Amino acid sequence: MLQESGDWKFDSEVVPIFDEHVRLSVPLYEEIHNMITEMSYWFAEDFTNIYDIGTSTGETIHNLSIKHKNKNIKYIGVDSSESMVIKARQRFDKESSVTILNQDVSDSNFAMNNASYITAVLSIMFISQRQRQDLIHKIYNSLNYGGAFVMIEKVVGSNARFDEMWIELYHDLKLKNGLKHEEVIAKSQSIRGILKPYTVDENISMLKKSGFTNIDTFFKWNNFAGFIAIKL
């Protein structure tokens, strides 16, 4: 499916192919999820909430809820795409501990509380830059002390030379995984002005501005990075 420039949407056309497409498009996708799940052992506590921002089809919550099945934890997935929410709700229709909300996390009416672990897998970069810092503030304030926020982002190279290298290597990966050249170019065009990534340093600065002082980069593959920030 090819879309027009700046016209990418997580709609009913994207949802059926999303899980397959993201595995072809995101480097080390399974390993990223394994790391998110394994790190959660240090933070997930009984009688707390775990939030997944931009939950899409619920992959992160699915993995976490299995790993912590013996704990009394509530899982809340949030997504602004109604089509994604429908798919995720079908996945968890028999799981009483899981709630999937169709909300915009940048909306002032959206609130989180009593969180021990908050995840955002390739979702913060879709938030308007003028609202992004406010959202990170909200995440920080929602975490219990000792809780953690995990964020996976597509990132911009620290300078033009690196950025060109990372983009070309990323396109090479997609082609190697079987995507066609026209699909790779069309996807790049479709997210113009919609996906707005920061550099690694800019992401860390954003986390610090919201109050996080314990921050580390636990994953880096060219133009993708994973950050963990602990509230202490």
pLDDT at 185: 86
Residue 158's DSSP bridge partners are none
The CB density around residue 40, as the number of other CB atoms within 10 Å, is: 21
Q: Which two tokens stand for residue 63?
A: 């993995």
- The class level of CATH for 15-230 reads alpha beta
CA distance 18 to 21: 5
> Measuring CA to CA, which residue among 102, 147, 101, 107 is closest to residue 127?
107
pLDDT at 140: 98
Q: What tens digit of pLDDT does each residue of 161-205 get?
A: 999 999 999 999 999 999 999 888 888 787 776 889 999 999 999
pLDDT at 4: 45
Which residue ranges make up each domain of the chain? Answer: 15-230
- Average pLDDT score over the chain: 92
CA distance 85 to 65: 17
The answer to whether residue 8 scores a pLDDT higher than 70 is no
The answer to whether residue 41 scores a pLDDT higher than 80 is yes
